[in-house]
Amino acid sequence: MTDTVISTLSQTHRRPWFWAFVASAAAFGATLLLTEGRGGGELLSAALTFAAFSAIVGIGQMFVITLGPGNVDLSIPATMTLAGTLSLKFMGGEAALVLPGLGVALAVGLGAGTANYLLIRFLRIPPIIATLSASFLYQSLAIWSNRGLRIKPPAILADFTTGATLGVPNVAIVGLLIAVLAWIILERSIYGRWLSAVGQNARAARLSGVPVQLMFAATFIGSAVLASLTGYLLASFSGGAALNMGTEYLLISIAVVVIGGSSIAGGYSNVPGIWGGALLMFLIVSMLNSYGLGAGVRLIMTGTIIIAIVAAAAGKESSA
């Protein structure tokens, strides 16, 4: 029994996601140290809430990156903005339209993901260029539909996104459920096996019968749908859809994938690491803000800490 526990602990510290959670705990502790332990519950609640937004879009980005080198979805921020804007405009503050409004948001994601794939497939545009170009279209549509208005979400939806169940933020519960579902899909479904096969060697996967183009279509659509869901939740949480609401999630969606231990070269994904990376990104900023550092210093230190975590994880993984 003891040997089993020791073996498990030994294997755990070699996993890439382990270091993201260690760094998150260190950042949390450093922030509490400055405040002499005050506000720990509020900080934890905020961390779980904002990490959930990053984790949901990060999971979608992780699926895309797992497809192999050069695959990344840069339309995530614009998709979030368009979905949040159109869904809130459709609901118009009416509680009876909460679920149809969610349907509108998911339809936006479905359309954006399909458009991204069609650009990649039929125009032979690299994913990074196709999704970046498409993002300008989605952002323009959001601007046109918004026209400077800030439409409030239905009260019941705002209460849900800002509320908690048994002390756990509702948004965090949604994010955790999505993470569990993503883990099951990756580890227990044929889609997960095909995704890894395509990411490791697309040509070999095609020759072995894997429907590579179907995988690309499903994965880019899935990423856009998760982005649209995040936009719906974030707009409701913040009291309205803003035209810059998704901006910060472009780099965050990629950073949490890298920090969490997924391979940027594709073929290997890590769902627990997404949550570790998402918590770390929020807690680092909170810690540096607590110490009163300037924006420039915060950016430098954030980048340095991220590099250190990724290097530590890579070192442990290679020595395993």
- The helix (run of H) or strand (run of E) holding residue 168 is strand 168-169
Residue 244 DSSP symbol? T
Predicted local confidence at residue 103, as pLDDT: 96
Q: What is the pLDDT of residues 212-264, one digit of tens each?
A: 999 999 999 999 999 999 999 999 999 888 888 888 898 888 888 988 888 87
H helix count then E strand count, the chain: 14, 2
Predicted local confidence at residue 37, as pLDDT: 61
- The helix (run of H) or strand (run of E) holding residue 245 is none
Architecture per CATH, domain 43-319, reads as Orthogonal Bundle (1.10)
Report whether 195 contacts 270 (CB < 8 A).
no
Predicted local confidence at residue 5, as pLDDT: 43
Predicted local confidence at residue 258, as pLDDT: 86
**What does 182-238 look like in DSSP terms, one character per residue?**
HHHHHHHSHHHHHHHHHHH-HHHHHHTT--HHHHHHHHHHHHHHHHHHHHHHHHHHT
Label residues 187-226 b or e (16+ Cβ within 10 Å = b).
eeeebbebbbbbbbebeebeeeebebeebbbbbbbbbbbb
The domain locations on the chain are 43-319
Average confidence (pLDDT) per 10 residues, the chain, 320 residues: 49 66 81 71 89 95 92 95 93 92 96 95 91 93 78 91 93 96 93 93 92 95 97 93 86 87 83 90 79 70 68 53
Predicted local confidence at residue 306, as pLDDT: 66
What is the rounded distance in angstroms from the CA atom of residue 99 to the CA atom of residue 108?
14
* Whole-number Cα distances in Å, 132 to 65, 119, 241, 303: 15, 11, 21, 23
Bridge partner residues of 164 (DSSP) = 169
What is the rounded distance in angstroms from the CA atom of residue 259 to the CA atom of residue 281?
9
Single-letter code of the amino acid located at 258: V
What is the rounded distance in angstroms from the CA atom of residue 182 to the CA atom of residue 57?
12
Predicted local confidence at residue 44, as pLDDT: 87
